[in-house]
Amino acid sequence: MSTQTEVLARFREIIAIDGWDATWSVTPWEELDGREIQPPLQNIIESDRVEWPRQGQALVPGCGRGNDARFIAASLGLKVTGIDISPTAVEAAQQETPQENVSFRVGDFFAPTDEQFDLIYDYTFFVALPPPMRPEWGRQMAKLVKTGGFLITLVFPIDPQVDFGPPFFVRPNHYEEVLGSVWEKVIDEVPAVSSATHIDQERIIVWKRL
């Protein structure tokens, strides 16, 4: 059986030979809603249910075209960095109307860094990772989010189980299993609003770093 390190190395090898970049634009989420702000994100940010940070930095891994990253920056005033392993995705994001407090770059979420963030938003990034990589995702999130900071996870697609991906099979508890005990769950609910193609297929969970 492959170790987690071997799986991670193989995943990066696939990336290195343009496997992900070649398929980025035809992933299910990119084809269905790659050009819109996710309604659950917009709803939860605009609500007064969470005391969101109004200064500092945010990260959006697997940012795609960057629509959600731009929304976070415009709504909260945070300096937002969107990263993606696909140069094509980053180029598409950079071609949109520039915003002063938003930047996009090709980057590896798992690369060692001392940088920390007040907010991280994950939509379709977790489900793009092979399941053996999920524990490393959890450890990296704990390192990257400041104490008192927030992690927003928009869990999608909650579909019948399959043995292939991406997107890989996911359930809300899969996030909790790898995040561990250093988080407080602030919100955990079916979104009040969803895209037409997402109804009954998603859940939004907000975590606070302890």
The enclosing domain of 143 has a CATH number of: 3.40.50.150
Q: What is the pLDDT of residue 165?
A: 76
For the segment 28-66, what is each residue's pLDDT rounded down to a tens digit? 445 445 568 999 999 999 998 999 999 999 999 999 889
Domains: count for the chain: 1
**Which of the four pLDDT bands, split at 50, 70 and 90, describes residue 89?**
confident
Which distant-in-sequence residues (6+ apart) come within 8 Å of 73 by Cβ?
A: 58, 79, 80, 99, 101, 102
Q: What is the pLDDT of residue 96?
A: 84
Residue 108: is its pLDDT beyond 80?
yes
Going by C-alpha positions, the residue among 97, 84, 110 that lies closest to residue 20 is 84
For the segment 110-129, what is each residue's pLDDT rounded down to a tens digit? 999 999 999 999 999 999 99
For 23, the domain range is 4-209
Query: Global pTM?
Result: 0.86
